[in-house]
Amino acid sequence: MKLDAKMLRYLSGDDFRVLTATEMGSKNHEVVPTSLIANIAQLNRSSISSIISNLAKNKLIARVQNASYDGYRLTYGGYDYLALKTFSKRDTVVSVGNQIGIGKESDIYIVCDGNGIQRVLKIQRLGRLSFRNIKQKRDYLRHRSTTSWLYMSRLAATKEYAFMKILYENGFPVPEPVDQNRHCVVMELLDAYPLCQIRDIEDPGALYSKLMDLIVRLACAGLIHGDFNEFNLLITNDDNPILIDFPQMVSTSHRNAEMYFNRDVECIRQFFRKRFRYESKVYPKFKRDTERQFSLDVQVAASGFTKRQQEELEKYLEEVQEQELSGSDTDSEGYHDDPQDYEDLSQDELHSTEEESQLVEQPQLTEQPDVVEQLDGLGASDEEKALNDDFDDVLEDLSLDNHSRRPHRDTQPKEPQLKLDPEEIRKRVQKTMRKPTVAGQKGRNQNKGKNKAKHLRNL
């Protein structure tokens, strides 16, 4: 789905209170009961009904069909608004501009911070296209089946920010990370072009050497990109490479590290062979050319991205790669088959590129975006700010009653209804269709007259 920030300025503190309550309830419920939303948000049912109706109308939350109880789930649109609200409080994002890129499972936008500096906002949307065959095999999410795609998107953004921050601090050619919240990452906007859009280059051999050196340099630091190809490389005007997109990065101590390393090398060799008619017999090998000099993978683990989160994300990415290698594509009904992803998408939005971060257009980097949705309306009054602060404290101290509730699943089969005997059904139908007799109607009229006479005597 596309990010539409127009409604963001019109949402009140109570609206975000309900969105946050829905997000918290989603930890234990696929469909969050309306009563639980009201309990967490600490709003009465009468006022919360109009708020939920407004949020559902704008597709920030949605009611799931055939659910056994009244409840809602958080959509990607609502998750976007919660992240943007946090960015606006931090003064990281105050305006949203044009979309400059789209991948299979991510969207990229130009944004501006409080100082008017243009940034790049990357929104992870895992599960948008590849879930159809994966959702039946995702045993690694059996304890987090609720809002699993939102959870996986948040993991991908957390991992990308952690790796980007460590690489940038150690002098690697990557964009400067600015901020991260939920499934969104804000980073530096660079004056560069994707390698996949470059048709001719003055010295392909020099660029080839720089890319191979970058692969070896990463491996010597204890990291392997895992998706090192023309779609995840930007080239500056000086023909210097810049590396982007890090959700698939792994450590050199990974069990499949050599396979990932050789695949990255082969991707570059194959691209240069096809695009620039350049082929070199000199290329690095994992066991021969990689000698660990640093342990950046250890620094990433120390930054807060845990080993368990890494394993969960790796299992998901492995399932995606298996699906791509098997040649199975998501059909027209695939996206709507998952209860979590119920937004209506156009064919343009569902168009899948060959790689995750392929850009669809290159904007003028020195100019402001043509269409800018100002988020200044988020500057709430003092009363609303105080209310939000109190709400944050309440959420921290609130003990949810989820322990007394069973986690609900909208896929839970309903109990079969008892079958009636055909003869019994026939008798019931005849009884309902039987017309009242004249004698019966006459008796009812007599009783009605007696009652009326009795009433008149009492008067």
- Find all residues with CB under 8 Å of 153, minimum gap 6, and list them: 79, 124, 125, 126, 127, 182, 183
* Closest CA relative to residue 85, chosen from 26, 158, 177, 12: 12
Q: What is the DSSP string of 237-253?
A: TTS-EEE---TT-EETT
DSSP state of 322: H
Q: Out of 18-27, 173-182, 217-226, 393-402, pick the least confident.
A: 393-402
Higher-confidence residue: 101 or 375? Answer: 101
Per-residue pLDDT tens over the stretch 140-184? 344 444 347 888 899 889 989 999 999 999 999 999 999 999 999
Looking at the predicted structure, is the pLDDT value of residue 423 above 90? no
Residue 121 to residue 404: CA distance in whole angstroms: 40
* Closest CA relative to residue 62, chosen from 81, 76, 44: 76
8 Å CB contact between 20 and 41: yes
Q: Where are the beta strands (DSSP E) in 1-49?
A: 32-33
Residue 193 pairs in a beta bridge with 235
Instruction: Give counts: helices (H), strands (E), the chain.
Output: 14, 14
Q: How many CB atoms lie within 10 A of CB 249?
A: 26
- Find all residues with CB under 8 Å of 346, minimum gap 6, and list them: none
Antiparallel, parallel or unpaired: β 118-124 and 106-112: antiparallel
Q: What is the DSSP string of 372-398?
A: -EE-GGG---HHHHHHHHHHHHHHHH-
Task: Return the pLDDT at 357.
Answer: 35
278 CB-contact burial (10 Å; exposed 0-12 / middle 13-18 / buried 19+): middle
Q: In the structure, what pLDDT confidence band is assigned to residue 399 with cuts at 50, 70 and 90? A: very low
Per-residue pLDDT tens over the stretch 116-133? 999 999 999 887 655 444
* Closest CA relative to residue 313, chosen from 226, 259, 247, 222: 247
Task: Return the pLDDT at 458.
Answer: 76
- Find all residues with CB under 8 Å of 99, minimum gap 6, and list them: 2, 3, 107, 108, 109
- Find all residues with CB under 8 Å of 118, minimum gap 6, and list them: 97, 110, 111, 112, 189, 365, 368, 369
For 327-343, give one letter per residue: b (16+ CB within 10 A) or e. eeebeeebbeebbbbbb
117 CB-contact burial (10 Å; exposed 0-12 / middle 13-18 / buried 19+): exposed
How many whole angstroms from its chain centre is CA 209? Answer: 37
Residue 22 to residue 400: CA distance in whole angstroms: 13
Q: How many CB atoms lie within 10 A of CB 201?
A: 17
The answer to whether 227 is a known catalytic residue is yes
Looking at the predicted structure, is the pLDDT value of residue 102 above 90? no
Task: Return the pLDDT at 152.
Answer: 86
Residue 85 to residue 181: CA distance in whole angstroms: 10
Tokens standing for 2?
Answer: 């596309």
Which one of 107, 227, 264, 341 is the catalytic residue? Answer: 227
How many whole angstroms from its chain centre is CA 132? Answer: 16
Residue 163 to residue 182: CA distance in whole angstroms: 16
Give residue 353's identity as a one-letter amino acid code. T
Q: Out of 2-11, 51-60, 192-201, pick the least confident.
A: 2-11
- Find all residues with CB under 8 Å of 398, minimum gap 6, and list them: 40
Per-residue pLDDT tens over the stretch 353-389? 333 333 333 333 333 333 334 444 444 445 445 445 5
Please name the helix (run of DSSP H) or strand (run of DSSP E) that holds residue 160, with its range, or none. Answer: helix 148-169
Task: Return the pLDDT at 217.
Answer: 94
